Structure 1
Amino acid sequence: MLIFFLASASVWLAPQGSSVAAWWPASGVAVALGLRTRRDRLAATLVAIVVVTTAANVWGGRTWGTSVGFGLANGAEVAVVVWFFRSRPAPPPFASLTDLGRLVLATVCGAGAAAVIAGLTVAPVGLVTPAAARAVFASHAAAILVIVPMTMVHLPQQAHAGRLERVLQPLVLAASIGGVYAVEGALPLAFAPMPVLVWGAARFGVRFATVELLLSGIAMSLLTTAGRGPFPTTAARWDYPPEMVGTMLQAVLVSSALVSLPVALLTDELSALLARARASAETLQGVMEAATQTAIITTDVLGRVTSFNAGAENLLGWTAADVVGRATPALWHDEGQLARRSADTGLEPGLRVLVASLEGRPGSERRDWTWRSRGGEELIVSLRVSPLLDAAGQVTGWLGIAEDVTRSRRSEQVLRSALEREREAGQRLVELDRAKTEFVAAVSHELRTPMTSVIGNLELLLDDEAGSVSASQRAALERADRNARRLLGMLEELLLLSRVESGTFELRVGRTDVRDVVEQALHTLDVTRVRSGVHVELHEPDHPVELEADGEQLERAVMNLVSNAVKFTPAGGRVDIDVEDDGTAVTVSVSDTGVGIEAADVDRLFDRFYRAPGAVRGAVPGTGLGLSIVKAVAERHGGTVTVASTPGSGSTFTLRLPRNPSTPEGPAGRVGA
């Protein structure tokens, strides 16, 4: 209905003798309607616009042919403008110069399409009439640029002026329009209202500017149509066609829109940016003040402090009033540390010493520094320094964020000192252990020769080589022989372990039948197991079980396993030895029905000199070397030794020897027989 009314009024108010209206506000309203219409209803809206504007032209007294042509021109104009905003929401925003640029381009194309169709409509021979096309283009473009922006503005009004200015500016605008367009003014004064419109745009924002632009356009159009103002006088003086009056008026309206709207948009954008900047500054200030445990300090390029937050006040003891604009960071930095840093960098002590590594490169740097508070307390802080840059990337100052790490750094120092002492103690223990090993090896070696001599002499006595001995003397000699052999065996084990620890333990590898090794070990231990009253049974294959191994060392390992089983199995118990060959490895398992082993002791069974608490309580003889020797022999052969035990039910030790060993020591640990 509004479009029909405006179109009818424009036709009735068209200049005398003009084929087109001086202003066509209906086109602005129609475009605004099209931009606010949902895309699925746009076709129906375009048809309605064509019908309504056609009817308005007929109502205004134009012929049906001319009316239909003008109606199609209005519909085409709306379609073209809406097409430019097809990717934007409905209604599209009007908040930036980009939005204005899109609207201007759409207006030029839309008004141009309407001008071509209207020019063809009024042409007598089907050619575009230049005057008519020019008048249509100007009137439609002015209507779109004056009316449509007001319907697209979504932002609240931005006012930067006081109450007096808000009253004064509209009065000045009304006076300028009245003084130029209500009388027969001169043409140069036609643009007199424009500076006042720019004033309003700059001080009151987009929403106010669009409303004021629309009201000004209506006022100037009505006065011009009434024959007032500079344009009718100029047209009559120079004998211009009637359409020229409207063209000159619309040129002023378009110019006013293109000058005032960018100013208003820039003003609102600047206001929004300033508001965001103020909000960011307030947020930053709030964060800085809330960080009561973190010192946040900024300086200018010369090092003068520009901000000093509550955390810095709490840490250093000075207030912001004491240091902002009055001091540099040298006030609280340790002079000795600054001097050393100055010597390292070749710079004078001051700000440049603190930021030397950041000059000429982006980023920030974190470093520990020593500060001294106002009360003289020494503080260790972790300080991150970053440059403050302007829009051109030039350094305008420096930002320092520091945390007090005095306690943690001193704790770290104590920990490092403790670790160093522990390392030194460990090194001394290693040296002591090496000395002990060397001592044990030397003593064992020195004792083995005389002990061998003792055993030899005991054998001579027992063989009556030095004369016959009585039964009691023989019993004493046999006890001495057993103890001497036991001591010699312990010396051999100590020497073996010392060679293992020193890396000189070598195998004498040869083709070995594991059955023979086990049988020889049992033969050596026969007296022991008989005396203990333990039943020992061997289970082995009927065929040879051969592999490349050191038979002597394997025999020692088996003897230790069987000896342990016998010692920890009470009289009447049972020990089973199983020899198996699965093609890839040979296993020797020794199972007993003894006291078993507690789970807590299993992991330490193979440590040197370790004896389980049960063995100590039961006074079971032993040195704690046997199982460590078994492990050393197994690993040197590339094998393993494992244990499975249930307290009170016995234990099973399994020695596994691969046929193709791959040992960490490699070939150096194995020599031929």
Structure 2
Amino acid sequence: MTVPVLGRPRWWVSAFLAHVGIFVLGATAVRFAPPGSTVAVWWPAGGLAVSFALATGRSARAWIFIAGVVVSSGLANAYAGRPPLVAACFGFANAAETAVVHGLLTRERRRPTLASMDDLWRLLAATLAGALVFGLLAGLTVRLGLGGPFLATVYAVAASHAAAVLVFAPLGIAARSARGRRPSLEAVVQWVGVVGVTAWVFGAGQSLPLAFLPIPLLVWGALRLSLRTVAVQLLLVGVLAVVLTSLGGGPFAGAATLTGIRPETVGALTQAFLATAAVTTLALAVAATQRRTALGDLRSEVELTGVVLDTAASLIVVVGGEGRIERLNATAARLLGRPEPALVGRLAADVFPVADREAVASRMSRIAEGAVPLGEEQDWHVEGLGVRRIVWTNSYLTDGQGRRTHLVKTGVDVTDERASRAFIETVLEAATATVIVGLDLEGRITLFNPGAENVLGHRAEDVVGHHDWTLLHDWSQVEGHAAELGIEPGLDVLVHRVREGASADTRDWAYVRRDGQRRTVSLTVSGIRGDGGHLTGYLAVGEDVTHRRQAEVALQVALERERQAVEELTELDRTKSDFVSSVSHELRTPLASVLGYSEMLEDGAAGPLTDRQLELVARVDRNGRRLLSLIEDLLFNSRIESGRLDLATLRCDLRPVLTQAWHAVESVTQERDLARELDLPASPLWVEGDPAALERMAMNLLTNAVKFTPDGGRVALAARRGDGDVRLVVSDSGIGIERAEHERVFARFYRTSVANERAIQGSGLGLSIVRAIVEGHGGSVDVESEPDAGATFTVILPAADLEMRADPTSGMDSDEPATKSRFAPYGEVQNQSETRDGPD
């Protein structure tokens, strides 16, 4: 659909100039009308209007231009002296003629062309229809407005307008065609001949027999030049003929002078000349254009055919009736090892690298008799490639009488294909442990490899083409699956997912061997599809997994037994933990009584004691407190194992907690030759935690540091606030820990190899309790140590709100010491030579 662009300045200027031309040509034609005639003998203004409208195409602009023809043509008639009403009617008639021609040539949204004889006939029909419309309207106008004859006017103006449209319209149609190349010498000579001969023929004093002399020159241009050039020459000849005839020159005006015929007859003769020249020239131009187009298409088709032949993967050889090669493609020439020109014209039997040349020569010499079969195979011995197997498809070309004239051989090299087929067959034969079965759409077996024979126990010759695939299955299993799917037992049970569009379906199937044994096969069924994507069959590939499935069942049974054993062990461990907890509770009460009485004895409640007695009572107290600490560790560990580590968290300052833990071991460190370093900041270290649990965590770390550091060493405790956390560091210069044991030291009851070697006593629970307390507060603990290089334990705890300096519920302030631990007091740590605990 053409979208009008009404605002394009270039078109408006062209349309204005066209209307000016219509006005000038119309006024001139009326002025030069023969004396006593009511109409002009030629109306170039009408031809110009039609030509411009056709050049515009089918759009709103064309109809705007046609509407303007009423004005420009009417003004031309009025300027030439006709009454206003008559001038307006003539203007309307000219516009009606233009509209009819334009509408007929642009029907169905098509742009007018002159590419075929149908287009020419369409132009002639439209021209005749437009001329008749104008003739009828002009005849009525002359009869009613000027009192002139109706029929004579119709005849005269219809002929004059038809001639004008035939001369002008081709230029409008060819206006959008491609411009020709640069004029050749032939074109220049033809142009000079057309213009010169036309001017000479229609000059003064020429006789009537010379009237049609310009037409052969127009025919020359029609056969050799472009349609645009022909249209321009036709218009130029028409203008020269009319103008010179109007001025009294040319054979038609000369004949009128000699014979005294009327001026209207001179006009009719001129119009007949123009119509003859236009029809003859245009018909030959269209035919020549069609011929050039057809030759171009044929040349392109020949070139395309050559390209297709040369790029085809198949061998194509055209052999003449005498057995000689007349054409072959690049593939055949490449396989023959010579270029095409060196092979064309030679006998095919001499060129083809076959063993039996005489048989080939005999068949090729009798092509006219149809001696060559339509299908054949040949072995070509090609140098460098060995023997190539060529499969030929032959066809004959015949003449009009049905005689065979040529043989077209189309060959395919199937050597690699046969090798591939042989390779596939070898693979199928070698797959002796894999089931490979081919099925058609009905479920009949088409392929049964040796692997299927070995696994399923049937011979291929007994089942291929005879047995239904489902007969090899355990039928009860097939029926069970069919009931689950809601379908009838049969092939659909095996392939229903593939038929629904799945690429493959894998599952286990039970098969019954020929000897009655049951085998479990993991089978994958996939579809075999043709070129159009439709199913042509099925391929089943399976593996015997009978022993594997039995092993899996046995493994599942073993796993179930192991699971039950784990549950029993878990229950035993829970019973053990409950026993330890119960015993620890039972031991704590009498132990507390022992410690109480020992304190009373030390205080002299039973009378004064000697130094030796005081020393013995002190030992009882110290070892009792060690035993009480061990019981507390066991109880704490029991709570950890049972998941009942209840922490009474509150906002507290960590400094008093650490100070309390430091003082708890201070008496022991004072008796030892150890350097002690306590580094706490001046500002509070706020955390959300259980002060008693945190104190126990710090005491366990400090106790280990003192226990594993010989005299002369160093023990340090430091705490700092980090980026959103609080860091507690306990370090020593003791015996250290192997790097491989860093993670294991936090396990329950674990003792390092160095502790075992040096017989340092301990329960192995201290560090596991440290980790449980730290992780219970959302923190982490880590160790860095090397043998004989000391150990550094770093605890990271989440920091509390920095703006809170004290929690009113905690009973602690940053300026006061922490409250006493809820845990029982730890026993004093003895000299390393007296008490040797293991690593906690």
TM-score of the pair, normalised by structure 1: 0.59
Aligned to 2:436: 296
Aligned CA-pair RMSD: 4.7
Aligned to 1:537: 676
Given candidates 609, 616, 627, the residue that maps to 1:487 is 627
**Alpha-carbon distance change, 307 to 414 in structure 1, aligned in 2, over 3 angstroms:** same
Aligned to 1:598: 738
Within 5 A, what are the aligned runs for 1:143-292?
150=327, 173=368, 202=374, 213=397, 252=400, 268=410, 284-292=424-432
The alpha carbon displacement at 1:569 in A equals 1.5
Q: Name which of structure 1's ranges 600-609 and 511-520 shifts more when overlaid on structure 2.
A: 511-520
Given candidates 657, 665, 676, the residue that maps to 1:525 is 665
Given candidates 533, 537, 544, the residue that maps to 1:404 is 544
**In structure 1, what is the Cα distance between the partners aligned to 2:745 and 2:721?**
26
Aligned to 1:432: 572
Unaligned runs of 5+ in 2: 1-219, 225-287, 336-347, 378-390, 802-808, 812-840
- Answer yes or no: is the 8 Å Cα contact 1:511–1:546 preserved in 2: no
**Alpha-carbon distance change, 536 to 519 in structure 1, aligned in 2, over 3 angstroms:** farther
The alpha carbon displacement at 1:639 in A equals 2.3
**In structure 1, what is the Cα distance between the partners aligned to 2:300 and 2:538?**
51
**Alpha-carbon distance change, 602 to 91 in structure 1, aligned in 2, over 3 angstroms:** closer
- Answer yes or no: is the 8 Å Cα contact 2:434–2:544 preserved in 1: yes
Aligned to 1:23: none
- Answer yes or no: is the 8 Å Cα contact 1:345–1:356 preserved in 2: no
Q: Name which of structure 1's ranges 641-650 and 517-526 shifts more when overlaid on structure 2.
A: 517-526
**In structure 2, what is the Cα distance between the partners aligned to 1:284 and 1:539?**
83
The alpha carbon displacement at 1:275 in A equals 9.5
Aligned to 1:323: 463
**Alpha-carbon distance change, 510 to 534 in structure 1, aligned in 2, over 3 angstroms:** farther
Unaligned runs of 5+ in 1: 1-64, 100-142, 175-195, 218-251, 662-670
Aligned to 2:787: 647
The alpha carbon displacement at 1:168 in A equals 8.2
Aligned to 2:167: none
Aligned to 2:696: 556
- Answer yes or no: is the 8 Å Cα contact 1:609–1:625 preserved in 2: yes
Aligned to 2:173: none
**Alpha-carbon distance change, 430 to 329 in structure 1, aligned in 2, over 3 angstroms:** same
The alpha carbon displacement at 1:170 in A equals 7.0
The alpha carbon displacement at 1:525 in A equals 1.7
The alpha carbon displacement at 1:499 in A equals 2.8
Given candidates 720, 723, 726, the residue that maps to 1:586 is 726
**Alpha-carbon distance change, 371 to 650 in structure 1, aligned in 2, over 3 angstroms:** same
Aligned to 1:81: 298
The alpha carbon displacement at 1:524 in A equals 1.8
Aligned to 2:685: 546
The alpha carbon displacement at 1:650 in A equals 1.4
The alpha carbon displacement at 1:659 in A equals 1.3
**Alpha-carbon distance change, 80 to 281 in structure 1, aligned in 2, over 3 angstroms:** same
- Answer yes or no: is the 8 Å Cα contact 2:651–2:810 preserved in 1: no
CA offsets 1:493-522 (integer angstroms, 9 cap, x no match) = 222233333343233344544333233223
The alpha carbon displacement at 1:570 in A equals 1.8
The alpha carbon displacement at 1:277 in A equals 8.6
**In structure 2, what is the Cα distance between the partners aligned to 1:634 and 1:405?**
53
Within 5 A, what are the aligned runs for 1:17-36?
none
TM-score of the pair, normalised by structure 2: 0.49
Given candidates 769, 774, 778, the residue that maps to 1:629 is 769
**Alpha-carbon distance change, 168 to 525 in structure 1, aligned in 2, over 3 angstroms:** closer
Please tell me the residue identity of whatever aligns with 1:528. Answer: V
- Answer yes or no: is the 8 Å Cα contact 2:436–2:540 preserved in 1: yes
The alpha carbon displacement at 1:301 in A equals 4.4
The alpha carbon displacement at 1:402 in A equals 1.0
Aligned to 2:239: none
The alpha carbon displacement at 1:529 in A equals 2.8
**In structure 1, what is the Cα distance between the partners aligned to 2:298 and 2:668?**
113
**In structure 1, what is the Cα distance between the partners aligned to 2:516 and 2:549?**
19
Please tell me the residue identity of whatever aligns with 2:618. Answer: E
Secondary structure of the structure 2 residue equivalent to 1:605:
helix
Aligned to 1:659: 799
Aligned to 1:226: none
**Alpha-carbon distance change, 201 to 541 in structure 1, aligned in 2, over 3 angstroms:** same
**Alpha-carbon distance change, 392 to 569 in structure 1, aligned in 2, over 3 angstroms:** closer
Secondary structure of the structure 2 residue equivalent to 1:560:
helix
Aligned to 1:464: 604
Secondary structure of the structure 2 residue equivalent to 1:619:
coil
**In structure 1, what is the Cα distance between the partners aligned to 2:393 and 2:495?**
50
Secondary structure of the structure 2 residue equivalent to 1:327:
coil
**Alpha-carbon distance change, 348 to 278 in structure 1, aligned in 2, over 3 angstroms:** farther
Aligned to 2:644: 504
- Answer yes or no: is the 8 Å Cα contact 2:313–2:331 preserved in 1: no
Aligned to 1:573: 713
Aligned to 1:186: none
CA offsets 1:367-400 (integer angstroms, 9 cap, x no match) = 1123344455543321112344567877654421
**Alpha-carbon distance change, 299 to 512 in structure 1, aligned in 2, over 3 angstroms:** closer
Secondary structure of the structure 2 residue equivalent to 1:298:
strand
- Answer yes or no: is the 8 Å Cα contact 2:780–2:797 preserved in 1: yes
Aligned to 1:187: none
- Answer yes or no: is the 8 Å Cα contact 1:333–1:369 preserved in 2: yes
Secondary structure of the structure 1 residue equivalent to 2:746:
coil
**Alpha-carbon distance change, 86 to 408 in structure 1, aligned in 2, over 3 angstroms:** farther
**Alpha-carbon distance change, 476 to 273 in structure 1, aligned in 2, over 3 angstroms:** same
Please tell me the residue identity of whatever aligns with 2:628. Answer: L
- Answer yes or no: is the 8 Å Cα contact 1:509–1:672 preserved in 2: no
More relative contact order in 1 or in 2 (CA 8 Å, sep 6+)?
1
CA offsets 1:577-610 (integer angstroms, 9 cap, x no match) = 2333346433332222211111221110111111
- Answer yes or no: is the 8 Å Cα contact 2:375–2:394 preserved in 1: no
Please tell me the residue identity of whatever aligns with 2:684. Answer: V
CA offsets 1:247-281 (integer angstroms, 9 cap, x no match) = xxxxx38x989x999xx68xx5xx85999997776
Secondary structure of the structure 1 residue equivalent to 2:648:
strand
Given candidates 600, 610, 613, the residue that maps to 2:750 is 610
Aligned to 1:308: 448
**Alpha-carbon distance change, 96 to 404 in structure 1, aligned in 2, over 3 angstroms:** closer
Aligned to 2:178: none
Secondary structure of the structure 1 residue equivalent to 2:522:
strand
Given candidates 436, 442, 447, the residue that maps to 2:587 is 447
**In structure 2, what is the Cα distance between the partners aligned to 1:520 and 1:314?**
82
Please tell me the residue identity of whatever aligns with 2:579. Answer: F
Please tell me the residue identity of whatever aligns with 1:502. Answer: S
Larger % of helix: which? 1
**Alpha-carbon distance change, 446 to 88 in structure 1, aligned in 2, over 3 angstroms:** farther
**In structure 1, what is the Cα distance between the partners aligned to 2:566 and 2:501?**
46
The alpha carbon displacement at 1:627 in A equals 0.8
- Answer yes or no: is the 8 Å Cα contact 2:718–2:729 preserved in 1: yes
Please tell me the residue identity of whatever aligns with 1:315. Answer: V
**In structure 1, what is the Cα distance between the partners aligned to 2:403 and 2:416?**
30
Secondary structure of the structure 2 residue equivalent to 1:507:
coil
The alpha carbon displacement at 1:623 in A equals 0.9
- Answer yes or no: is the 8 Å Cα contact 1:534–1:575 preserved in 2: no
**Alpha-carbon distance change, 620 to 81 in structure 1, aligned in 2, over 3 angstroms:** same
**In structure 2, what is the Cα distance between the partners aligned to 1:312 and 1:169?**
49
**Alpha-carbon distance change, 166 to 293 in structure 1, aligned in 2, over 3 angstroms:** farther
Within 5 A, what are the aligned runs for 1:119-158?
150=327
Aligned to 1:59: none
Secondary structure of the structure 1 residue equivalent to 2:744:
coil
**Alpha-carbon distance change, 272 to 482 in structure 1, aligned in 2, over 3 angstroms:** same
